[in-house]
A and B are shown apart, each in its own frame.
Chain A
Amino acid sequence: MAGNNPNSKPMNLTLKVWRQKNTNASGQLVTYNVKDISPEMSFLEMMDVLNEDLLRQGQDPIAFDHDCREGICGMCSLYINGRAHGPESGTTTCQLHMRKFSDGDTIVIEPWRANAFPIHKDLSVDRSALDRIQQAGGYVSVNTGGVPDANEIPIPKSIADKAFDAATCIQCGACVAACKNASAMLFLSAKVSQLALLPQGQVERKTRVENMLAQHDEEGFGSCTNIGSCAAECPVGISLENIAILNREYIVAKATSENV
């Protein structure tokens, strides 16, 4: 809060930002100086300040994705000083605040990099590949209406809690950006294990994992070599245990496949 922390002095920073006109253009890092940045600002508010400056000078503002600015929509996606979503663990870019930086710092800002995420412009990338993985099987096939009363499907609290934890993935793609193979396995495993844990997900359990994995590979994501940088950078703490569940699901599905 303003004045809450009386020692919070405004900062001057050097930014090196990836600029790229469109998908096919080549890009480069461009240096900008920003002044009088309050430590209470969010990182994206600092970017807003820079963009307003650029605009006033008649220059093209930097394109970046964001919407909720609350860490839940999964839209923000900056690679800051070599880390997906920046230096603070368990935090999306929009929830990162400038108090994590110091006066005089140089900050390098790049887009998510992965073959499956073409760059639209500057820092904004196309993550529709993740939607297509969901479309390949990330659902329970029930139509609206004609379902049983909610309490007819009791679910032990521990299982429900675990399924919930997996279901909190915000589909931001940081796990892909953090992975040297650009694998989306953590993201994929979150959905697979949510539905594998719940009774509602049992019927389509095998086809789901097979189809989602096939789509994952088709989109050009790399394979998982168990490095774990995905989970380290995941802003909502999706755990590697989900990948273990995914592997188990896949082995069982393959052994007794219904996909013919």
Chain B
Amino acid sequence: MILDSKIPDGPLAEKWEKHKFNVKLVNPANKRKYDIIIVGSGLAGASAAATLAELGYNVKVFSFHDSARRAHSIAAQGGINAAKNYQNDGDSVHRLFYDTIKGGDYRAREANVYRLAQVSVNIIDQCVAQGVPFAREYGGLLANRSFGGAQVSRTFYARGQTGQQLLLGAYSALNRQIAYGKVKMYPRTEMLDLVLVDGKARGIVTRNLITGHIESHSAHAVILATGGYGNVFYLSTNAMGSNTTAIWRAHKKGALFGNPCFTQIHPTCIPVSGDYQSKLTLMSESLRNDGRVWVPKAKGDKRPPQNIPEDERDYFLERKYPAFGNLVPRDVASRNAKQACDEGRGVGSTGLAVYLDFADAIKRDGLDKVSQKYGNLFDMYAKITGENPYESPMRIYPAVHYTMGGLWVDYNLMTSIPGLYAAGEANFSDHGANRLGASALMQGLADGYFVLPYTIGDYLANMPAAKVSVDHPAFKEAEGAVRADIQKLLSINGTKTVDDFHKELGHLMWDYCGMARNAEGLTYAKGKIRELREEYWKNVKLVGVNEEFNQTLEKAGRVADFLELGELMVTDALNRNESCGGHFREEYQTPENEALRDDENYTYVAAWEYTGSNSEPILHKEELQFENVKLTQRSYK
């Protein structure tokens, strides 16, 4: 297989303009002859669906949620980046590009990231036109805040609910097209397989989650915008339903999987409290604008925080990274928190937490101002922990948050299967080995509003408008395989629940493929995951039938896929003998414990080809070319 990233020629700043001019267009009258399937209605899926329908294509949108608006994008808190330079603080498209490449530890494609920075400015315009109520200054203009990994203020926000407001904007544009009849929405419908005809993506097989009805849908192209797979760790900040099934099943049908091990562990989450815990809650990174992170200087200091005098506190981020302080990128902040806890200086009953303290901010700006900025986050913290963060510092600990890896895509966002596209968190592009805060919302909307609508036309323009019937043997075969898998799961009748397996997998992933990894642990985990997977198919317990609303069955299919994906993540982490961004291999670190890259041997995207459930995947390398930035050791000091 040849990996062609299809990066256009020419100077970085002109590539996208040139490409847009060179792509083929589908004539307006012909667009209605083409059908596009979009799986997912989060920021990426909803924005793509609305825009493609506005252009005239027939769009079908699928979501396992009961409403398009419940996609996990709704939960994003902190904000969205854009190189508007409204603050006149020196921001520019080039600076956003540079920060993103550097933040990603030089493992992302220059051309994609530059395009992302370019279209970022259009996103804000679009959202405002839709009525998205961003935060504003008293003069009526848009307000900004700062996020990690940047020294400018370029993050647009809507209190602590930016994802909600952006998604509601995209959802409203989608609703308008549903009302016009250009989009048909299929809520509570889960994609369970991708269908290829003559080597091209031509449709999907779905299950209606209420009735269990298995059905095929045919189209000229398929877009997967199905979000991230952080729930492979069982506990994460993702919603309970977030899963890998759509992209994993596409991977099994031939789509290469890019950098599966690149996972983001977010530094500011509410710590785990017990084994019953079902998910972890993020406390937005924006809190690091005003909150100060610290632990006691002495090991095992169990005094309440108020009783620990100033000079016995270690504000470790400010101490080690004076230039960026509490606003270092996430991977750096997370690793340092872990280190402090590993040294025995962690706080709270488990010792797996550090303080995030607002006392100084409250003293400086007053309680009102702090509550205006972060009120809803403080309330959430209080509800979950039963403690008042206005009075004593929050306790936070890193948690799995985002997956930089995903389906490999070229510059056009097409996967290695012709006609199959991946957008948003589901693809691997743009964030390299570490994503900067407020950049996922930007990427999802860039993909959906401004990239796919151009690039998909280029593909369709070369394609005959003839439709493939869902009676085609390829659909029948895929439906049969889906039914067989479901029947198998339902018939095992073992002794352990789906959640039992999921938790075990999660522990393995967190312990050996989490914030710190090493060859020995990864090798161990790989064997364990295989054993667990084997046991799953012999000993999992489900009840009920397919022809009903069966939430255990839904979960069972998703966990089966996590059990395969987990192994690929471990394989990828084992292959990458370097540390970069969120991928920290303990064998490869600088004397100051920073990530030590190996640019000579690992400046590539690892794109894995599936070869069967118990056989080794094949590695394809996309070498990354850096023509516009110099690769240096990241420094936030």
Contact = CB atoms under 8 A, between A and B. Distances in A.
Contacts, number: 230
Contacts of B159: 164
A168 B124 contact: no
A124 B549 contact: yes
A4 B544 contact: no
Contacts of A160: 133-136, 140
Given A63-B549, A74-B69, A144 B54 contact: yes
Contact of A153 (B128, B175, B380): B128
Contact of B278 (A4, A48, A164): A48
Interface string A5-27: 10000000000000001100000
Contact of A63 (B66, B84, B86, B551): B551
B138 A140 contact: no
B30 interface: no
A180 to B, nearest CB: 25
A32 interface: no
B463 interface: no
Contact of A154 (B50, B70, B141, B386): B141
Contacts of B348: 1, 4
Interface in B442-466: 449-450, 453
Contacts of A143: 51, 54
A161 to B, nearest CB: 8
B591 interface: no
B387 interface: yes
B67 A164 contact: no
Contacts of B173: 139, 142, 144
A184 B497 CA distance: 39
B421 to A, nearest CB: 17
B129 A142 contact: yes
B526 interface: no
A125 B89 CA distance: 50
B385 A201 contact: no
B81 interface: no
Nearest to A143: B54
Contact of A195 (B131, B277, B499): B131
B179 A154 contact: no
Contacts of A22: 548-549
B96 interface: no
Interface string A26-69: 00000000000010111011001100100110111101011111
A183 interface: no
A145 B136 CA distance: 23
Interface stretch (B161-169, B287-295, B412-420, B578-586): B161-169
Contacts of B220: none
B164 A200 contact: no
A134 B125 contact: no
B395 interface: yes
A69 B124 CA distance: 28
A41 B277 CA distance: 7
Which one of B136, B395, B544 has the highest number of Cβ atoms from chain A below 10 Å of its Cβ? B136
Which one of A63, A150, A170 has the highest number of Cβ atoms from chain B below 10 Å of its Cβ? A150
Contacts of B499: 48, 52
B2 interface: no
* Size bracket of the B interface: 35 or more
Given A75-B66, A200-B131, A61 B551 contact: yes
Nearest to B278: A45
A157 B137 contact: yes
A131 B385 CA distance: 34
Contacts of B72: 67-68, 73
Contacts of B124: 150
Interface string B480-513: 0000000000000000010100000000000000
B188 to A, nearest CB: 8
A115 B171 CA distance: 25
B70 A38 contact: no
B278 A69 contact: yes
A49 B548 CA distance: 22
Given A139-B175, A147-B129, A200-B129, A155 B140 contact: yes
B176 A74 contact: no
Nearest to B138: A157
A58 B450 CA distance: 50
B395 A1 contact: yes
Interface string B267-295: 00001011011110110000000000000
A147 B126 contact: yes
A140 B278 contact: no
A141 B176 contact: yes
Contacts of B273: 1-2, 40
B363 interface: no
B383 A150 contact: no
B11 interface: no
Contacts of A139: 130, 172-173, 175-176
Given A49-B276, A63-B549, A68-B72, A148 B129 contact: yes
B552 A127 contact: no
A149 interface: yes
A41 B273 CA distance: 9
Given A135-B179, A160-B133, A194-B133, A5 B384 contact: no
A1 B178 contact: no
A141 to B, nearest CB: 6
A73 B130 contact: no
Given A142-B129, A151-B142, 12 more contacts: A1-B348, A41-B274, A70-B75, A75-B65, A91-B383, A121-B548, A142-B173, A147-B125, A163-B133, A164-B135, A167-B168, A195-B131
6 contacts: A63-B551, A74-B70, A95-B383, A131-B185, A147-B128, A155-B140
Interface of A: 1-5, 21-22, 38, 40-42, 44-45, 48-49, 52, 55-56, 58-61, 63, 65-75, 91, 95, 97, 99, 120-121, 124, 126-128, 130-131, 134-136, 138-145, 147-151, 153-157, 160-161, 163-164, 167-168, 170-171, 194-195, 198, 200-201
Would you list the 7 A-B pairs with minimal beta carbon distance, nearest first?
A154-B140, A139-B172, A3-B349, A147-B129, A164-B133, A150-B128, A144-B51
